[in-house]
Chain A
Amino acid sequence: MSAATTATATADIVSNVWKLVTEVGAQVREGDILAVLESMKMELPVHAPATGTVAEVLVAEGQIVQEGDALVVIATQDEAPAAV
């Protein structure tokens, strides 16, 4: 049994988490919008880096994040964790 593989969406700019549009357990496809950051008066969508299931949401709306901060962890579909 292989360990779960994950992909993490990160903030690419210092910003405010304006909207979260996903939740733990949601199925997402690569490129789907997971959150919208607000910085420099711009609405900056955060896209899913891979197809899979949202395993963790690490931030809350209104939170300030720095460049590189992890936002959402996705368990990729091919090697999702086996049911316990």
Chain B
Amino acid sequence: MTQLDVSAPDPAAGAATQAARPHHRDVLAQRRADRTARVEPRGRRQHTARERAHLLVDEGTFVEISPLRTAGPSSGSGVVIGWGLVGGRPVVVASHDAAVASGAIGAVFAETVQRAQRIAIDRGHPIVYINDSGGARIHDGIHALHGCGGIFANNVEASRKIPQISLILGPCAGAAAYSPALTDWTIMVKEQGQMFLTGPEIVRAATGEDATADEIGGSGMHTRTSGVAHLEVDDEQAALDAARGILSFLPSRVGGAQVLVEPVPARPEAVARLPHVVPDKSSIVFDMHEVLDGVLDDRPRLELSPAHAPSVLTVLAHLDGRPVGIVANQPRARGGILDAKASVKASRFVDFCARYGLPVLTFVDVPGFLPGTVEEGRGVITQGATMLRAYVEAQSPVLTVVVRKAYGGAYIAMGSRSLGADFTWAWSGSEIAVMGPGGAVALLHRRALKDAEDPDTLRDELAAEYRENVARPYLAAEAGILDDVIVPEETRERMVQALGVLAPRAEGSRA
């Protein structure tokens, strides 16, 4: 990292100016050197807090704020703040310095983070928090807690205005763990980042549970089971790159201009394969990513929470050069069902896309909400309802296509017309009904099935009849609940056309 050279210019140039007194410059140079001296990162860490900030932003663009700020005679504030450019746009950074009291959040630390937050919020720029902190600084007592609370309050205010991304590059314990939970997306480095309320020792003392730090709060726990974090990456650079990747899809602030890119068609092989992706038999699984390949621009997509509640996909992508958010059932994972966790994952994503003006494209193949004691115990009714609320409240364009089946309450939840979708379509082979053929026939023909000599054959016949006469999408299209019945290869064009009227590109925009 380059230090600005502050040594004295030629004193002969002006004997009466301050430049004639090199002592001032020496003092400054010394102070800067003291505060920014490199301390070799400990443990699995690959970079210092300052290096991380520099590596996050476009090369050579990081500008540090208040580098001389300190909490004590020789300590620094414990956090490096500043700004730089990401993809040419300003982004504010707050990077915890584990070399200063293990990154403990004291009063000065908290004030410093809040200063970064204020600049980001007031000037409308995204903020990236690089977390590496053992928690509140106990020496600062209640002032540390007050500072943490102030950071949280700013997190909440920011969440309505600017993108916030949290990277977990070390411990993020106790009070510190709540800040990422108030931000949009959290990225953890495997075997390095940890988030928990308390570590193994206190857990053991409090409840007797014996667990390792990784079991309590490692990236596996949080990107698979809890859903607290959304991406798991292998090293620090990958975490920084992932943050840049997410930001590349987003405007700088709520209401900001969309980041349009050159439109590119879907990959030709995927387009050719599109009519053959969905198995005819509705019980056979397939990979919804293949459908997305055949519809979306052939550009890298960014899937969020890929390992948590995997029966629903949440993906950032491009359609015709516009950033879009994809919500899709993934039949290959748990049949593509909705459950409590999948509902929370999807609703959070819809809220996020809608807040930043990204169209929400919903691809439906859902067997229903998973019933039973486990799901009811998890509050699937309340969690499922969050999906309904998210779609109803979404102000950005919502486009929905049923690619195979949509039954019951899950049909409604997956971006249906009734929840305010702008345009809805179904593929010609799909099924939309209040319930699946098997269940419907059992209810509608209970008596006939009971009296039949061969109930299995009769049930199959009735189910086939129901599938063709009741569940095909034409009833919904005739009722205006679907805008059209289409074939798979028409999907992209319909969606592009719809965005053309729902969110026309600004005149003169570059793509």
Q: B-contacting residues of A (Cβ < 8 Å)?
A: 12-14, 39-45, 66-67
Contacts and interface: CB of A to CB of B under 8 A. Distances in A.
B284 interface: yes
6 contacts: A12-B334, A13-B335, A39-B334, A42-B335, A43-B285, A66-B374
Q: Which of A13, A39, A41 has the most CB of B within 10 A?
A: A41
Contacts of A44: 285, 334-335
Contacts of A67: 374
A13 B331 CA distance: 13
B283 interface: yes
Nearest to B410: A40
B334 A13 contact: yes
If over half of A's interface residues share one DSSP class (helix, strand or loop), that class is named, otherwise mixed; here it is: loop
Interface stretch (B74-82, B205-213, B364-372): B364-372
B335 A14 contact: no
Contacts of A66: 374
Interface in B428-463: 436, 438
Contact of B370 (A13, A43, A45): A13
B337 interface: yes
**Which bucket holds chain B's interface residue count?**
10 to 19
Contacts of B374: 14, 66-67
A44 B283 CA distance: 8
B282 interface: yes
Contact of A41 (B333, B334, B438): B438
Given A41-B438, A67-B374, A13 B283 contact: no
Contacts of A43: 283-285
A81 B68 CA distance: 61
A67 B378 CA distance: 13
Nearest to B436: A41
Contact of A40 (B284, B333, B368): B368
Contacts of A42: 283, 285, 331, 335-336, 367
Interface string B272-289: 000000000011110000
Contacts, number: 37
A41 B370 CA distance: 11
Q: Which of A13, A42, A45, A66 has the most CB of B within 10 A?
A: A42
A63 B196 CA distance: 37
Nearest to A40: B367
B282 A41 contact: yes
A43 B333 CA distance: 11
Interface in B319-344: 331, 333-337
Contacts of A39: 334-335, 370
A9 to B, nearest CB: 15
Contacts of B337: 13, 40
A12 B334 CA distance: 7
Given A13-B370, A67-B374, A40 B335 contact: yes
Nearest to A67: B374
Interface in B267-310: 282-285
A67 B285 CA distance: 19
A41 B282 CA distance: 8
A41 B366 CA distance: 11
A66 B368 CA distance: 18
Nearest to B336: A42
A14 B336 CA distance: 14
Nearest to A42: B335
A42 B282 CA distance: 8
Contacts of A45: 285
Interface in B336-374: 336-337, 367-368, 370, 372, 374
Contacts of B335: 13, 39-40, 42, 44
Contacts of B282: 41
A35 to B, nearest CB: 14
A39 B283 CA distance: 10
Given A13-B337, A39-B370, 14 more contacts: A12-B333, A13-B335, A13-B370, A39-B334, A40-B335, A40-B337, A40-B368, A41-B283, A42-B285, A42-B335, A42-B367, A43-B283, A44-B285, A67-B374
